[in-house]
C-alpha cells in the first residue's frame, strides 16, 4: 500500500492500494479497460476504483472524475473527496495517473454529504 497526500498526482497500478494521509480513506485500482472504436482519437476508458472509508466499501466506476463525501471517525467531520483521472495507458488492468484531493467541512442540518 502506498501513502498519498491530498493533491498529489501519482501512477496507480492495477491491484495497488493507496491510503490518503490523515484520513480513514483508502482506494484500490481494480482495473481499467480501454476501448478504441475506429481510431486512436475515439477512445473510451472504464476505470474501476474501490473506495473504503469508515469500514465500509463502495465500488464506483469512473471515466473522468468523481466527487463524494465520508465521515472521518477520528475528527467526526465530513470530508469531501475528489478523484480526477488524467490518463489510463492500458487495454486491460493497467495503471492510471490520477489525483485525489480532500477537504473538510462541518455537517449542517439539511446538508447531504453525498454530492
Each residue of 66-115: pLDDT tens digit?
888 888 877 778 888 899 888 777 666 778 889 999 887 765 544 555 54
pTM given for the model: 0.74
Q: Which residues contact 88 (CB under 8 A, 6 or more apart)?
A: 32, 34, 45, 47, 94, 95, 96, 97
Angle at CA of residue 10, ends 83 and 71, nearest 5°: 35
Amino acid at each position: 500500500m502506498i501513502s498519498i497526500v491530498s493533491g498529489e498526482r501519482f501512477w496507480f497500478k492495477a491491484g495497488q492500494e493507496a491510503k490518503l494521509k490523515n484520513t480513514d480513506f483508502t482506494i484500490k485500482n481494480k482495473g481499467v479497460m480501454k476501448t478504441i472504436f475506429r481510431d486512436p482519437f475515439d477512445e473510451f476508458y472504464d476505470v474501476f476504483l474501490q473506495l473504503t472509508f469508515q469500514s465500509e466499501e463502495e465500488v464506483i466506476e469512473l471515466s473522468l472524475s468523481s466527487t463524494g463525501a465520508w465521515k472521518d471517525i477520528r475528527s467526526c467531520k465530513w470530508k469531501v473527496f475528489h478523484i480526477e483521472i488524467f490518463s489510463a495507458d492500458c487495454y486491460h488492468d493497467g495503471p492510471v495517473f490520477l489525483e485525489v484531493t480532500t477537504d473538510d467541512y462541518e455537517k449542517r442540518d439539511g446538508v447531504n454529504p453525498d454530492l
